[in-house]
Structure 1
Amino acid sequence: MEDLSVRSGDVELAASYSPAGETVIVALQGAGEGTRDFRSYTHLHDLLPPAGIGVVTFDRRGEGESTGDSSRGRFEVQVDDALAVLRAVDAADIGLWGISQGGWIGPLAAAASDEVKFLVLVASTGVTPSEQMMYAVERQLRLAGYGDDVVERALDLHRRFEDWIHTHAPEPDEQLAADLWAGLDEPTLLDEESRRLWIEEMDYDPRPAIAQVRVPTLLFYGDADSWTPVEPSVEAWRAAAGADVEIVVIPGAEHDLTMPDGSFAPEYEAKLVDWRVRSR
Structure 2
Amino acid sequence: MKINFLFLLLQLLILPQISFSQSESFSVQEVKFKSQNVTLSGSILMPEKPFAAAVIVHGSDPVKREMEFAKRLAKEGIAVLTYDKRGVGESGGVYVGPTVGTNNIDPANLTLLSQDASEAVLTLKTYLKDKKTPIGLVGFSQAGWIIPIATSNNPQIKFMVLFSCPTITTLEQLRFQFYTNGNHDFWNNHTESDAREHIKNDSDRYQFIATDPKISLNAISIPGIWLFGEKDIQIPVKLCIEQLNFMKAEGKPFEYALFPELGHNTSSDDNSTPVEISIQWIKEKALKLKKS
TM over 0.5: yes
CA distance in 2, matches of 1:69, 1:142: 31
Among residues 156, 174, 183, which one is paired with 1:133 in the alignment?
174
Match of 1:95? Answer: 136
RMSD: 2.8
> What displacement does 1:44 show?
2.1
Paired AA for residue 81 in structure 2:
V
What is aligned with 2:12?
A: none
In the alignment, residue 116 of structure 1 is paired with which amino acid?
Answer: I
Residues of 2 paired with 1:249 and 1:43: CA distance?
Answer: 23
What does 1:187-226 correspond to in 2, within 5 Å?
A: 199-200=208-209, 203-226=210-233
Q: Which residue of 1 aligns with 2:260?
A: 251
Q: Which residue of 1 aligns with 2:18?
A: none
Decide whether the 8 Å contact of 1:208 with 1:240 is kept in 2.
no
- Relative to structure 1, the CA distance from residue 264 to residue 56 in structure 2 (aligned partners, 3 Å threshold; closer, same or farther) is farther
User: 2:122 & 2:182 partners in 1: Cα distance?
Assistant: 42
Name the amino acid aligned to 2:255: E
Give, in angstroms, the shift of residue 233 of structure 1. Answer: 0.7
- Name the CA distance, whole Å, in 2 between partners of 1:100 and 1:87: 23
1:32-181 aligned within 5 A: 32-36=61-65, 41-70=66-95, 72-73=104-105, 74-90=109-125, 91=128, 92-143=133-184, 162=205, 166=207
Instruction: Report the more deviating stretch, 136-145 or 112-121.
Output: 136-145
Aligned match of 2:52 in 16, 19, 23?
23
Partner of 1:7: 34
Structure 1 distance, partners of 2:165, 2:181, is 18
Matched, 1:265 2:271: yes
Secondary structure, aligned partner of 1:214: coil
- Amino acid in structure 2 at the alignment position of 1:66: S
Structure 1: gaps (5+ residues): 149-154, 167-198
Q: Distance in 1 between matches of 2:64 and 2:224?
A: 24
Give the structure with the larger helix fraction: 1
Q: Is the 8 A contact 1:96 1:118 kept in 2?
A: yes
Gaps of 5+ in 2: 1-27, 97-103, 191-197, 288-292
Q: For 2:282 and 2:203, how far apart are their aligned partners in 1?
A: 45
Cα shift at 1:144? 7.1
Output one character per residue of 1:46-65: Cα deviation in whole Å (capped at 9) or x when no partner.
31112111111111212221
- For 1:69, the aligned partner's letter is V
CA deviations 1:68-126 (Å, max 9, x no partner) are 23354311111111111110012421100111111111111111111001000111212
Tell me the CA shift for residue 160 of structure 1. 5.7
Larger Rg: 1
TM score, norm. by length of structure 1: 0.74
141 and 276 in structure 1: CA distance in 2 versus 1, 3 angstrom threshold: closer
- Aligned pairs, number: 232
Q: Which residue of 2 aligns with 1:189?
A: none
Whichever residue aligns with residue 214 of structure 1, its letter is S
Provide the C-alpha distance between the structure 1 equivalents of 2:62 and 2:258, rounded to a whole number of angstroms.
Answer: 23
**Local SS of the residue matching 2:69:** helix
Q: CA deviation at 1:128?
A: 1.6
Q: Residue 280 of structure 2 aligns with which residue?
A: 274
CA deviation digits over 1:208-260, x for unaligned, max 9?
112122111111001111211001111122223553111101121121216xx
- Evaluate the alpha carbon distance shift between residue 52 and residue 141 of structure 1 in structure 2; reply closer, same or farther with a 3 A threshold: closer
